[in-house]
Amino acid sequence: MATSEHQLPEVKRPSATTLPRRGFVEALLGTGFLATAAAFIYPVLRYFVPPQAVDLGGDSVVAAKVGDLKPNSGKIFRFGSRPGLLILSADGQYRAMSAVCTHLSCTVQYRPDLKEVWCACHNGKYGLDGRNISGPPPRPLLAYDVQVRGDEIYVSQRREG
């Protein structure tokens, strides 16, 4: 009886069947470590490498198709990397301008009830020609040229001179 108390407990040695399980756990931990490292490194890299600015092709874009706008309505379109505003006035004339408010760069919109361009940030107002008429905007909106070719409405930078 006394001899059985002094015996060392039997040590289990890994058998051939437990080794694949260990390898699986090690692979799982390694993958988790790599995923965690990537989750930290990727945002840092994205911060230091700015995204490429998308240039949509020179100084002219297709802002809409004929029929997209009802009279007395407006539509925001993308002009290069900035928003533009295309308006079909109540008398059926297309007008286009930058949609970036000249006060603090909020995006303006067309207000059919006012028949004006309106900036929601500080209640700035512009006329249909982009002229600043009330509120804090210090300058007019940049006006663009509009051309209807076929069923597409092209907007381009206004050429001075």
Binding status of residue 143 toward ligand FES by CB under 6 A: no
Residue 130 binds ligand FES, judged by CB under 6 A: no
Q: Which of 21, 65, 115, 122 contacts ligand FES by CB under 6 A? A: 122
Q: Looking at residues 34 to 63 of the shown chain, list those that interact with ligand FES (rule: CB under 6 A).
A: none
Smallest distance, ligand FES to C-beta of residue 121, A: 4
Interface region with ligand FES, contact rule CB under 6 A, candidates 33-41, 46-54, 56-64, 102-110: 102-110
Interatomic CA distance for residues 101 and 109, integer angstroms: 10
Residue 31 buriedness (CB in 10 A; 0-12 / 13-18 / 19+): exposed
Contacts for 152 with CB less than 8 Å, ≥ 6 apart: 62, 64, 65, 66
**Are 110 and 119 spatial neighbours (Cβ–Cβ below 8 Å)?**
no
Residues forming contacts to ligand FES in the complex (CB under 6 A) are: 101, 103-104, 106, 119, 121-122, 124, 135-137
